[in-house]
């Protein structure tokens, strides 16, 4: 994989389950594949009070449990962890984003980040407009010297009207080409292989239609339960969390016609 330019990944909600189980282990795998640039840093931002050392210890545990290269040597893991930093702020208060700006300025000098920042919102959807607004207030969304991008996890709104409203508000602070709306489920290897199985396989492609397929069943088998995410599920529910995004998107890949192009 080709290396990218120097940059910082800023994860809001960094003390949460997604960062621990998915994000940091995935970035560590990129590190092990020599796919990260020479100059990079990962800044975790959340309300929880943690030191850099405590944050690194927790993320090390996540790497050991969930990364593809979980059996990597101690030296490699510690080398990666040395680029992880943590900042505790109240993300609902605009004045506290000055600390984010100051911390990024410090890391920019230390690791030659070239003022390239990616903001990843691993937070409740209620903060999807709050955080961009306050980043904008600190001038952190403007691409004057380096690039600025924002990644937003599902659920993107709780219905069509709120999704449209959220989109309009985001465009007040970021340009469309800076916004990345993602569903991490689509990055799973099995899901990715659906496209290859369907469209690059001369055996299956002619048979993949109603004349030869009686029914389709999609099973989402999880190895863990709700765990400590009860607060999130009480608000969103399993239908919004799994069905209207993850499973319907998989169903779309199963049933759709071959795309004429892969760009919007």
pTM, entire model = 0.88
Given the structure tokens 């955080």, which residue do they identify? 131
Respond yes or no: is residue 184 known to be catalytic. no
Residue 195 to residues 108, 189, 251, Cα–Cα distance (Å)? 39, 11, 12
CA separation for the pair 20, 26 (Å, rounded): 10
* Tens digit of each residue's pLDDT (9 = 90 or more) over 26-36: 999 999 999 99
Residues 6 or more apart whose Cβ sits within 8 Å of residue 134: 91, 94, 97
Catalytic residue among 99, 158, 215, 246: 246
Structural domains of the chain, with CATH = 7-182 (3.40.50.720), 186-255 (no CATH)
pLDDT at 157: 82
CA separation for the pair 172, 161 (Å, rounded): 17
The percentage of residues in the chain with a pLDDT greater than 70, rounded to a whole number, is 99
Residue 228 CA to its chain's centroid (Å): 20
Q: Is 186 left (phi over 0), alpha (psi -120 to 50) or beta?
A: alpha
Banded model confidence at residue 150, pLDDT cuts 50, 70, 90? very high
* Tens digit of each residue's pLDDT (9 = 90 or more) over 55-103: 999 999 999 999 999 999 999 999 999 999 999 999 999 999 999 999 9
Given the structure tokens 């407009």, which residue do they identify? 129
* Tens digit of each residue's pLDDT (9 = 90 or more) over 171-230: 999 999 999 998 878 888 889 899 889 988 889 989 999 999 999 999 988 877 777 777
Residue 105 CA to its chain's centroid (Å): 23
Banded model confidence at residue 159, pLDDT cuts 50, 70, 90? confident
């Amino acid at each position: 994989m080709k290396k990218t330019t120097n940059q910082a990944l800023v994860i809001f909600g960094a003390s949460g389950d997604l960062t621990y189980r998915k994000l940091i282990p995935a970035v560590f795998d990129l590190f092990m594949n020599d796919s990260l640039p020479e100059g990079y840093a990962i800044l975790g931002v959340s309300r929880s009070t943690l030191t850099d050392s405590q944050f690194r210890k927790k993320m090390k545990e996540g790497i050991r449990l969930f990364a593809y290269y979980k059996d990597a040597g101690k030296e490699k893991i510690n080398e990666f962890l040395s680029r992880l930093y943590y900042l505790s702020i109240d993300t609902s208060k605009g004045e506290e984003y000055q600390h984010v700006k100051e911390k990024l300025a410090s890391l920019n000098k230390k690791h030659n980040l070239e003022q390239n920042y990616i903001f990843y919102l691993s937070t409740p959807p209620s903060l999807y407009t709050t955080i961009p607004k306050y980043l904008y207030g600190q001038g952190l969304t403007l691409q004057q010297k380096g690039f600025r991008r924002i990644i937003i996890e599902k659920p993107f709104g709780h219905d069509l009207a709120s999704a449209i409203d959220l989109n309009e508000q985001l465009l007040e602070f970021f340009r469309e080409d800076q916004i990345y709306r993602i569903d991490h489920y689509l990055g799973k290897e099995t899901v990715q292989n659906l496209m290859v199985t369907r469209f690059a396989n001369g055996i299956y492609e002619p048979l993949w239609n109603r004349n030869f397929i009686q029914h389709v069943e999609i099973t989402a088998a999880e190895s863990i339960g709700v765990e400590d995410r009860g607060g999130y599920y009480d608000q969103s529910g399993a239908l919004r969390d799994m069905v209207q995004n993850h499973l319907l998107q998989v169903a779309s890949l199963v049933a759709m016609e071959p795309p004429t192009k892969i760009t919007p």
